[in-house]
Amino acid sequence: MLKKIDHIAIIVKDADEALKTYSGMFGFEVEEELEGPGGEFKAVMVKVGDIRVEFLQPMTDEGSFARFLKERGGGLHHVSFATNNINQDLKTLKEQNRRLINEEPMALPNGDKIAFVHPGAAENVLIELVQRARSYPQMPNIKLA
């Protein structure tokens, strides 16, 4: 079941510069920094209040983030929804014949699980489902239709 919007992801040329911009305008602070598989990208999760934004900086000229940056100059990449049961959500979406990029969740090094719903299934928006290894207490349940 979906819990909340986990974060908004933005592809940027320089995550440090993006942090300076968002920090200066709105007071965002770094929550977490990660490196993508094989050093393909740098991810910087920033937060202010309950709002989380992930800056994704390609570190190579290869991969989907680098291609996105080259073709679009950066910008909004995906919206991420937190769930407490990613496997059930994927099963429900498959039963609805929704187009998925990942039919099974991918495990991240920190224990989180993620999967993506194709933009064609979601009004041209790339959706990420994330089941965090840590829990979100006192969040209402939102059942997928």
What pLDDT score was predicted for residue 137? 44
DSSP string, 79-140: EEEEES-HHHHHHHHHHTT--BS-SSPEEPTTS-EEEEE-GGGTTT--EEEEE-SS--TTPP
What pLDDT score was predicted for residue 116? 97
Q: Is 18 helix (H, G, I), strand (E, B) or coil?
A: helix
Rounded Cα–Cα distance for residues 9 and 1 (Å): 21
Give the dihedral sign, CA 138/126/18/109. Answer: positive
143 within domain boundaries: no
What pLDDT score was predicted for residue 108? 86
What pLDDT score was predicted for residue 138? 41
What pLDDT score was predicted for residue 143? 53
145 within domain boundaries: no
Give the DSSP H or E segment for 34.
strand 29-35
42 within domain boundaries: yes
What pLDDT score was predicted for residue 49? 93
139 within domain boundaries: no
User: What does the DSSP 8-state code read for residue 62?
Assistant: -
The series of mean pLDDT values per 10 residues for the chain, 145 residues long, is: 94 97 96 87 94 96 94 97 96 97 92 95 96 63 51
104 within domain boundaries: yes
Query: Pairing relation of β-strands 106-107 and 113-117?
Result: antiparallel
9 within domain boundaries: yes
136 within domain boundaries: no
- pTM of the complete model: 0.86
Q: Which domain holds residue 125?
A: 2-131
138 within domain boundaries: no
Q: How many domains does the chain have?
A: 1
CATH code, 53 = 3.10.180.10
What pLDDT score was predicted for residue 135? 56
